[in-house]
């Protein structure tokens, strides 16, 4: 004979108290905003070992200096530099979207995660270091390059395009 009391269980083996707890779980309060903020902040630590590629050149800044000399176009040139490599990016306005065309210098293959307002898209850089990403939403953008610079992970500054 078994020592287990099966009274009060149904075909799934759930007793009334457990079923009541499961019903209650769907009615609990929302997670506090500070808890959500702390969770999001801790998520950033997953790339703490990534090398930062800082923005060193931005054609938008040059356009501000030359405002009376020439008109501004819909192309923006960005250069990010880290100790091991440089990432050059051309951001083109295509309707309500942006198209990023870039190159890793020195040329090498790698994976690039384009992080933008619409999410993250993964693209490949070819053997010449060239890459492109279509359908990037306007707003903050950062590139997360992996498998480059001797196996390093490089992350660019966030820039609004």
Q: DSSP secondary structure string, 7-63?
A: TT--TT---HHHHHHHHHHTTPPPPPHHHHHHHHHHHGGGGTTSEEEEEEEEHHHHH
For range 49-74, the mean pLDDT: 69
pLDDT of 2 reads 43
Q: Are 46 and 113 in contact (CB under 8 A)?
A: no
The Cα–Cα gap between 72 and 60 comes to 8
pLDDT of 6 reads 47
What contacts 112, CB < 8 A, 6 or more positions away? 122, 123, 124, 125, 131, 133, 143, 144, 145, 146
Task: Pick 19 or 97 by higher pLDDT.
Answer: 97
Tokens of 126: 């070819």
Q: What is the DSSP letter of 27?
A: T
For range 45-55, the mean pLDDT: 71
Phi-psi label, residue 13: left if phi above 0, alpha if psi -120 to 50, beta otherwise: left
pLDDT of 29 reads 67
pLDDT of 98 reads 94
What are the structural domain ranges in the chain?
Answer: 50-160
pLDDT of 115 reads 94
CA atoms within 13 A on the CB side of 41: 6
The Cα–Cα gap between 17 and 23 comes to 10
pLDDT of 88 reads 96
- Model confidence, pTM: 0.63
* CATH topology for the 50-160 domain: Immunoglobulin-like (2.60.40)
Backbone φ and ψ for 105, nearest 5 degrees, come out as -125, 125
Q: Are 156 and 55 in contact (CB under 8 A)?
A: yes
């Amino acid at each position: 004979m078994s020592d287990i009391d099966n009274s009060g269980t149904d075909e799934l083996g759930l007793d009334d108290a457990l079923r009541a707890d499961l019903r209650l779980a769907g009615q609990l309060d929302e997670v506090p905003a500070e808890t959500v903020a702390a969770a999001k902040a801790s998520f950033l630590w997953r790339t703490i070992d990534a090398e930062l590629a800082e923005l060193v050149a931005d054609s938008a800044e040059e356009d501000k200096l030359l405002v009376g000399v020439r008109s501004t176009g819909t192309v923006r040139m960005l250069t990010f530099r880290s100790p091991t490599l440089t990432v050059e990016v051309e951001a083109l306005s295509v309707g309500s979207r942006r198209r990023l065309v870039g190159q890793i210098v020195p040329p090498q293959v790698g994976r690039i995660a384009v992080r933008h307002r619409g999410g993250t898209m993964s693209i490949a850089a070819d053997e010449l270091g060239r890459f492109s990403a279509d359908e990037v939403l306007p707003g903050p953008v950062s590139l997360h390059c992996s498998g480059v610079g001797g196996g390093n992970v490089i992350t660019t500054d966030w820039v609004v395009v």
